[in-house]
Amino acid sequence: MTKALVLVEFKGTSIKKASLEAIHALASQGVEVDAIAFGPDAAAGKDAGAKAAGGQGAKNLFIANNDDLKFYQADVYAGTIAAQFKSGGYDILAGSASTTAKDLFPTLAARLDAGIAPDCVEVKVDGGSLSAKRPMLAGKYFATLKFKAFPAVVTIRPNAIGVGADSGNAAAASDLAPSGDIKSKTVELSGGGNSSRPDLAEADRIISAGRAIKASENFKIIEECADVIGAAVGASRAAVDAGMAPHSMQVGQTGKTVNPSLYIACGISGAIQHLAGMKTSKIIVAINTDPDAPIYQKADYGAVGDLFEVVPALKEEFKKLLSAG
């Protein structure tokens, strides 16, 4: 039977949905899945984590924790995962295409003498091999890769595959000793804005603004609307280059690639580079004063109007709808 080790990440003491999607993607194809997690949040969330991971089909949840692991430590993650992968006889290493996995998994692929398929939107395990579909040129086209042999290392794009119904089973949780020499040590984590808002790359709903927002303080209008529906806030490159938003908010080919169920583009004309970063969104809404803006060609719903008038009205409508249930 094909065996997979899946890196699961915690936000607070819960496993992130994107990590559960990675378990589901493999367990639902009959792969025997174990999960592995790191750090104090995982240790504190052990029981809830075992239920959530087990609910998606994981058999075991291994948790490694020590003082260094209050921060992400690439060398410890890599050392511990590589040791577990080899001793456990796994075929596949998987995780969500998170900031952590994007940094970590290439190191592990090289260490395990394996190839890597990053940021996949489909994964198929079939007869001793794995094939995966992934976006190229920021989603302008897709490539399907096939591993010549196991081991295979794969990361899965958040919101691409989804989670399954919770089976009610819990994974068996156990502690694992961290290993690996630290060559690059994370010593500090600083900054970060409103942590109650979801991460852009994993968000299920996103509201973005372009240069038409005119000033960074005007993002307040977008944020207020976003908070009503639990959305993350993004920006176009034009807005970022004009200094209205930090690069960490940029959606597009030289920013973040996003894949939400709902993407609302406010005052964004729709340059090819921006479209590349968000066009796999399930539903796209465009709000723009220019009825000929290219964004309308990708939008499911368009509203021709001024974002300064339409977004506050939209916030009120969302409030009404959600308070009505």
Partner 1 sequence: MKIAVLVKQTPDTETKAKLGGSGLDTTGVKFILNPYDEFAVEEAIQLRDKNSGEATVVSLGPDRVVEAMRTALAMGCDNGIHVKVSDDDLAKFDSFAVAKALAESIKDKGFDLILCGKQAIDDDALAVPQMVAEFLGLPRATVVTKLSIEGGKAKASRAVEGGAEEVIEFATPAVVAAHKGLNTPRYASLPGIMKAKQKKIDVVEASSLGVTADTAKVTYENFELPPEKAAGKVFKGEPAELAKQIVEHLRNEAKVI
Of residues 147-166, those binding partner 1 (CB under 8 A) = 147-149
Stretch that binds partner 1, among 23-31, 38-46, 206-214, 253-261 (CB under 8 A): 253-261
**Is-contact 270 251, C-beta < 8 A?**
no
Stretch that binds partner 1, among 26-34, 45-53, 61-69, 277-285 (CB under 8 A): 277-285
Stretch that binds partner 1, among 24-32, 158-166, 216-224, 268-276 (CB under 8 A): 268-276
If one asks whether residue 60 binds partner 1 (CB under 8 A), the answer comes out as no
Residue in 30, 88, 128, 193 binding partner 1, rule: CB under 8 A = 193
**Is-contact 301 285, C-beta < 8 A?**
yes
If one asks whether residue 189 binds partner 1 (CB under 8 A), the answer comes out as yes
Instruction: Give the DSSP H or E segment for 245.
Output: none
**Is-contact 227 319, C-beta < 8 A?**
no
If one asks whether residue 72 binds partner 1 (CB under 8 A), the answer comes out as yes
Stretch that binds partner 1, among 30-38, 51-59, 133-141, 209-217 (CB under 8 A): 133-141
Provide the mask over 79-108, with x wherever binding to partner 1 is found by CB under 8 A and - wherever it is not.
-------------------xx--xxxxxx-
Residue in 58, 93, 117, 207 binding partner 1, rule: CB under 8 A = 117
Number of residues that bind partner 1 (CB under 8 A): 98
Question: DSSP per residue over 277-320, as a string?
Answer: HHTT-SEEEEEES-TT-GGGGT-SEEEES-HHHHHHHHHHHHHH
Nearer to partner 1, 63 or 299 (CB): 299
Residues 79 and 93: their CA atoms lie apart, in Å, by 14
If one asks whether residue 229 binds partner 1 (CB under 8 A), the answer comes out as yes
**Is-contact 231 198, C-beta < 8 A?**
yes
Nearer to partner 1, 65 or 155 (CB): 155
Chain residues 290-309 in contact with partner 1, contact rule CB under 8 A: 291, 296-306, 309
Residues 234 and 206: their CA atoms lie apart, in Å, by 7
Residue in 83, 242, 262, 289 binding partner 1, rule: CB under 8 A = 262
Q: How far is the CB of 157 from partner 1 (least distance, A)?
A: 11
Nearer to partner 1, 59 or 142 (CB): 142
Chain residues 16-55 in contact with partner 1, contact rule CB under 8 A: none
If one asks whether residue 167 binds partner 1 (CB under 8 A), the answer comes out as no
b/e code 223-258 from CB counts within 10 Å (16+ = b): bebbbbbebbbbbbbbbbebebbeeebbbbbebbbb
Residues 76 and 84: their CA atoms lie apart, in Å, by 12
The candidate with the shortest Cα–Cα distance to 22, out of 4, 45, 39, is 4
Q: CB within 8 A of 292, min separation 6: which ones?
A: none
**CA-based torsion, 76, 8, 18, 69: positive or negative:** negative
Whole-number Cα distances in Å, 265 to 29, 233, 251, 284, 310:
36, 10, 11, 7, 12
Nearer to partner 1, 60 or 288 (CB): 288
If one asks whether residue 137 binds partner 1 (CB under 8 A), the answer comes out as yes
